[in-house]
């Protein structure tokens, strides 16, 4: 059995990206891509040089073929993906607008999808248990009662389990009038490393007051990362607290940044880097996603990212990254400029 550094479990879908801004009703054509929080993390980590497996279910259809082939092309092991002849692969359409605005539209066609049929019985739990890190998200919990039972099994405290990483990923429109707050809190409390945005904590749990208030509401995970949007992120690791501001980014499309941040943070964690570097690598991977049109971006080389993460505080705070920055192979000090 191959032991992977990271196993990421969750649904991925074929996503249709608009050819121009506007309402879904007005967009004449769409480009095909892939989208899924956990598979996004897997792809970024694999592209950054880590051994990663994606575990899921897809339909025995062309869209399932595309997902498996596209995700494998990043270097992700897909042997843990099962095909379901009775259920389809999920798809969705979205507009080009920011998810935070009222103009943003997403049309999901995922009800009854193959991934929603994941259970503890049809998932290779032994292979998952051999990983160093198991990455999950709250999206999976919303898909079905079976998926929620699977996540409860995977977040149960037991000796020898992998480090469990859990991204809250609160998506209100997936819960169909169910109350997500208690479920997301339960799963987070069973995890070792939790990612949550300030906005998610307010929406899911009614918690306001910033990172300290969120930590008070969620004291159980040893490691808690509170994402604070363009301001930065705060890391609670045991009894230590670290804040690192975000870099300035010329945004092309505000999608995929949260998944990329998690991948950057996990990559630095696997490498044993200190707290501030883990946050900086998260910010850098998020900047890579923000400067491309789709959810996934080629990450910077490890040396490139390490040079940027090693900048002094003043240089970090004046760093500005735009489209194409991950392809630059220059010294970090040549990329620093005042906004």
User: Predicted confidence band at 279 (pLDDT cuts at 50, 70, 90)?
Assistant: very high
pLDDT tens, position by position, 126-136: 889 999 999 99
Average confidence score pLDDT of the chain: 92
Give Cβ neighbours of residue 277 (< 8 Å, ≥ 6 apart).
Answer: 268, 309, 310
DSSP per-residue codes, 127-143: HHHTSSEEEEEHHHHHH
pLDDT tens, position by position, 215-229: 999 999 999 999 999
Q: What strand order describes the sheet that includes 13-18? A: 30-35, 13-18, 91-94, 106-109
Instruction: Using alpha carbons, select from 77, 11, 78 the residue that is nearest to residue 50.
Output: 77
User: Predicted confidence band at 97 (pLDDT cuts at 50, 70, 90)?
Assistant: low
Average pLDDT for 286-311: 93
Q: What angle do CA 129, 131, 135 make, to 5 degrees?
A: 90
Measured CA to CA in angstroms, residue 44 lies from 58, 297, 328 at distances of 20, 8, 18
The CA distance from 197 to 199, in Å, is 5
Q: Residue 102: what pLDDT?
A: 59
pLDDT tens, position by position, 172-216: 888 987 899 999 999 999 999 999 999 999 999 999 999 999 999
| 330: pLDDT strictly greater than 50 | no
DSSP secondary structure code for residue 276 in this structure = H
Instruction: Using alpha carbons, select from 154, 82, 165, 157 the residue that is nearest to residue 118.
Output: 82
Residue given tokens 């498996």 in the structure block: 68
Given the DSSP bridges, would you call strands 223-227 and 193-197 parallel, antiparallel or unpaired? parallel
Residue given tokens 């900086």 in the structure block: 280
pLDDT tens, position by position, 138-163: 999 999 999 999 999 999 999 999 99
Given the DSSP bridges, would you call strands 106-109 and 91-94 parallel, antiparallel or unpaired? antiparallel
> What does pTM read for this prediction?
0.93
User: Predicted confidence band at 1 (pLDDT cuts at 50, 70, 90)?
Assistant: low
Is-contact 105 95, C-beta < 8 A? yes
Query: What does residue 150 show for φ and ψ, rounded to 5 degrees?
Result: -65, -45
Instruction: Using alpha carbons, select from 269, 229, 225, 268 the residue that is nearest to residue 249.
Output: 229
The CA distance from 305 to 204, in Å, is 33
Instruction: Using alpha carbons, select from 191, 188, 111, 120 the residue that is nearest to residue 150.
Output: 120
| 327: pLDDT strictly greater than 80 | yes
More confident residue, 319 or 294: 319
Active site amino acids: 259
């Amino acid at each position: 059995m191959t032991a992977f550094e990271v196993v990421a479990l969750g649904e991925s879908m074929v996503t249709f990206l608009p050819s121009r801004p506007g309402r879904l009703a007005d967009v004449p054509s769409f480009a095909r891509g892939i989208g899924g929080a956990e598979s996004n993390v897997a792809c970024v980590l694999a592209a950054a040089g880590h051994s990663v497996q994606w575990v899921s279910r897809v339909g025995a259809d062309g869209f399932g073929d595309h997902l498996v082939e596209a995700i494998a092309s990043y270097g992700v092991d897909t042997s843990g993906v099962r095909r379901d002849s009775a259920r389809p692969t999920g798809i969705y359409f979205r507009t080009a607008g920011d998810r935070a605005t009222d103009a943003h539209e997403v049309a999901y066609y995922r009800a009854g999808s193959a991934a929603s049929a994941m259970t503890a019985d049809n998932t290779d739990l032994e292979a998952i248990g051999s990983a160093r890190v198991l990455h999950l998200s709250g999206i999976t919990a919303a898909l079905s009662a079976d998926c929620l039972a699977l996540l409860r099994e995977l977040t149960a405290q037991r000796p020898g389990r992998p480090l469990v990483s859990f991204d809250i990923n609160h998506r209100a429109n997936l819960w169909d009038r169910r109350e997500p707050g208690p479920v997301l809190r339960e799963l987070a409390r069973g995890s070792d490393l939790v990612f949550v945005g300030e906005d998610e904590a307010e929406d899911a749990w009614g918690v306001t007051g910033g990172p300290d208030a969120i930590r008070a509401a969620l004291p159980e995970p040893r490691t808690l990362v509170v994402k604070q949007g363009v301001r930065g992120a705060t890391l609670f690791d045991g009894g230590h607290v670290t804040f690192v501001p975000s870099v300035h980014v010329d945004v092309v499309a505000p999608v995929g940044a949260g998944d990329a941040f998690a991948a950057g943070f996990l990559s630095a964690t696997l490498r044993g880097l200190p707290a501030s570097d883990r946050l900086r690598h998260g910010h850098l991977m998020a900047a890579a996603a923000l400067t491309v049109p789709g959810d996934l971006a080629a990450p910077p080389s490890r040396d490139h990212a390490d040079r940027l993460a090693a900048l002094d505080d003043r240089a970090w705070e004046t760093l500005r990254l735009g489209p194409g920055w991950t392809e630059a192979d220059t010294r970090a000090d040549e990329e620093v400029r005042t906004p």
